[in-house]
Amino acid sequence: MYKLKKLPNGFEYIEIKNSSASAKIALNGAHIFHYQQTTKEPLLWLSEISDFENEKSIRGGIPICWPWFGMNKNENLPQHGFARMSLFELTNISELAPNNTQVSFILKDTQESRKLWPYSFILEYTLTVSDKLSLELKTTNKDSKDFKITQALHSYFKISDILDVAIIGLDKKPYLDALTMKDGIQDGKISFDTEVDRIYKEVDSKINLIDKDKIISIENKGSSSTVVWNPWIDKCLRMSAMKGDAYKRFVCIESANALDDFKIIKPNQTHTLKATVY
């Protein structure tokens, strides 16, 4: 079962329910902000004070960072690109089985997008809602020249408490610490007692987020970089649409093409970034 719903301010989203899970996906940014298996707690964290307005990014869920990740060299351009604040077109909803619903969106270049990024493109996003959540972001170059992208599926995972979680699967992986701009090598599991903002490289296996009473698994294709982020106390207080203690309740593990994992896409060629979480 699915419904297209609209808030009083005109903000539209799709609500999905099947025998395995439920989900809510906004047309603005093709942003999934709720996913919950039928017998379990929500997998994604969502800020209680997030904006739900067109041309604004939702705080939580899984924003799409595209066609660049992080800050652009031109500081006047929006952080993490423009896709997360753009209105996508809903192209298809298919109930493939009683426990499996697939939703597809598309974003194409416009006169306004070319002011920010001067290329012709098609961005297709397919989400499959079942006992797993599958996300597939496909970039097609429709221009006459090559273009370069960095990107991320900026997943906010809901947790019991930041002090009680650990991430495994990145041991011995090199990373860039975005807070110090220094390189490092991961030693064992990742745990949290301060702000963490790292881009891990050479990622080639499943990542597990270990909480007190659950394990969240992330598997990626088309990507060899993963971002791990928690803003901790001071930054959390400065961030928009986030309560001061919100850092305790989420950790971001982002499926990405970042740093040297950027992609150059030739005319009429494509690149697909895929993440499966469960």
Q: How many helices (H) and strands (E) does the chain have?
A: 2, 22
Rounded Cα distance between 174 and 171, Å, is 9
Nearest CA among 176, 177, 8, 1 for reference residue 101 = 1
Which residues, 6 or more positions from 110, have their beta carbon under 8 angstroms from its beta carbon? none
Rounded Cα distance between 205 and 199, Å, is 15
Residue recorded with tokens 């900026």? 154
Nearest CA among 126, 129, 107 for reference residue 2 = 129
Q: In this structure, how many other beta carbons lie within 10 angstroms of the beta carbon of residue 12?
A: 15
Q: DSSP alpha helices (H): ranges in 133-275?
A: 232-238
Which residues, 6 or more positions from 75, have their beta carbon under 8 angstroms from its beta carbon? none
Rounded Cα distance between 17 and 9, Å, is 24
Nearest CA among 93, 67, 90 for reference residue 78 = 67
- Phi, psi at 240, each rounded to 5°: -75, 150
Rounded Cα distance between 104 and 63, Å, is 16
Q: What Rg, from alpha-carbon coordinates, does the chain have?
A: 18
As annotated, the active-site residues are 154, 254
β partners of residue 271: 139
